[in-house]
Amino acid sequence: MAMNRHTIPVTVLTGFLGSGKTTLINRILKEAHGRRFAVIENEYGEINVDADLLVKDGGETVVQLTNGCVCCTVRGDLANALNDLAKQREAGTIQFDHVLIEPTGLADPGPIVRTFMAETELLTRFHLDGVVTLFDAVNGERNLLDSVEAQAQLGYADRILVTKIDLLRERTAVQAADVEAALLATIAAANSVAAVDSISVPDAPWGEVFDKLLEMRGYQFDRVVFTPQPMFRPLAAAKHTPGVGSISFEAEQPLDGLKLNAALAAINERYGEALWRIKGVLAIAGMRSRIVVQGVQGLIQATPSTIWRMFEPQRSRLVLIGRDLDRDWLLAQLGSCVIADAASVADPRIASLH
């Protein structure tokens, strides 16, 4: 499904405890920046708003703030809460142009992302712009070793913003460039497609904040753009993080659509919700259009996109991010779909993937 320009963009802002997520959200809610956001937090969130601003509405708490933003505490179903906010916006009760969803620092963002892929009605009003993960430069690597949730937050990210990089530089006697390069290598090993940058949460100018927080277009169903933009040059080899990994499959020859369906089904059966993210652009034998694949937690959507131009190399690329992935097995499954002679495929169709 192509992104509707008239729908409201939604950004999921996640990050492990101490990464600076709540500080950033509180800045957005309280400071003057000229933007109108609706911030959705769950009942375990740490956002601090003045009690006299609270307006009770059934099981939810909706706060209209003086800087033009809205804060909503969700205790029930996210899709219903979003649709209720949209209805209030349409009625003129509240105003906002963008939604930020703030899960607790211990939350896996996967179910939120899955909501946007599974709830068709929701997509008539909203579109998921992407997942931004704040990564603590000082404690982030230790969190990855200790927490599946921290691994998942990194795995789902379309953009990773490294925080506290100044503290990392102060606390180490090693050359700053070497420390930063090693940190980037660790992040890239876990998620090879997310754009990576740094941010100073307490005092970054609003122009910088919004440039790095918005306009990711990470979940369009008609195009995938692989544009990682590392903030440091990777000088060091990647440090392996147990449990979390990013695997990239590429092919210069077209793929057999039926074999691809079988391979993806096998991958889904083996990994299920442990396959946090899958995205790519595929060339299917006999098909004139690119096939864009977007998937999360076992839910995979394959959508025709633009037409391959004459004489244009039809290259496929698929990236899989998840927990305890067997690289050799995955590449063997996908590699079995590559064919040398596209004309030998009797039925090139790719069916709906679930």
Among candidate residues 80, 151, 161, the one with its CA nearest the CA of residue 109? 151
Q: Which domains does the chain have, with CATH numbers?
A: 8-213 (3.40.50.300), 244-344 (3.30.1220.10)
Among candidate residues 153, 125, 121, 218, the one with its CA nearest the CA of residue 15? 153
Among candidate residues 299, 279, 141, the one with its CA nearest the CA of residue 218? 279
pLDDT, tens digit (0-9, with 9 covering 90-100), for 154-191: 889 999 999 988 777 776 655 556 777 778 778 887 88
Sole residue written with tokens 């992935």: 325
Q: What pLDDT score does 206 carry?
A: 94
Taking the C-alpha atoms of residue 276 and residue 267, their distance in angstroms, rounded to an integer, is: 12
Best-predicted range by mean pLDDT (58-67, 223-232, 330-339): 330-339
Taking the C-alpha atoms of residue 20 and residue 195, their distance in angstroms, rounded to an integer, is: 19
Q: What pLDDT score does 120 carry?
A: 78
Contact indicator for 221, 294 with CB cutoff of 8 Å: yes
- Asked if pLDDT for residue 123 goes beyond 70, the answer is yes
Sole residue written with tokens 């505490």: 73
* Three-class HEC string of 60-99: EEEEECCCCCEEEEECCCHHHHHHHHHHHHHHCCCCCCEE
Burial class (CB in 10 A: 0-12, 13-18, 19+), 90: exposed
Q: What pLDDT score does 211 carry?
A: 92
The model's pTM is 0.81
Tell me how long the chain is: 354
Question: CB-based contacts of 6: which residues, under 8 Å, 6+ apart?
Answer: none
CA 147 to chain CA mean position, Å: 18
Q: Please, what is the Cα angle at 53 between 209 and 116, to 5 degrees? A: 50
Backbone angles phi, psi at 222, to 5 degrees: -120, 0
Q: Kindly report the average pLDDT of the chain as a whole number.
A: 80
Per-residue pLDDT band at 226 (split at 50, 70, 90): low
Q: What pLDDT score does 218 carry?
A: 77
Average pLDDT over residues 18-38: 88
CA 253 to chain CA mean position, Å: 29
Contact indicator for 282, 291 with CB cutoff of 8 Å: yes
Q: What pLDDT score does 4 carry?
A: 52
> What is the 8-class DSSP label of residue 201?
T
Measuring CA to CA, how many Å separate 110 from each of 141, 265, 276, 314?
21, 19, 7, 31
3-state secondary structure of 144: helix
- Asked if pLDDT for residue 256 goes beyond 90, the answer is yes
Strands of the sheet with 70-74, listed across from one edge: 54-57, 60-64, 70-74, 37-42, 98-102, 8-15, 126-136, 159-163, 195-198
Taking the C-alpha atoms of residue 238 and residue 218, their distance in angstroms, rounded to an integer, is: 24
- Asked if pLDDT for residue 234 goes beyond 50, the answer is no
Q: What pLDDT score does 260 carry?
A: 93
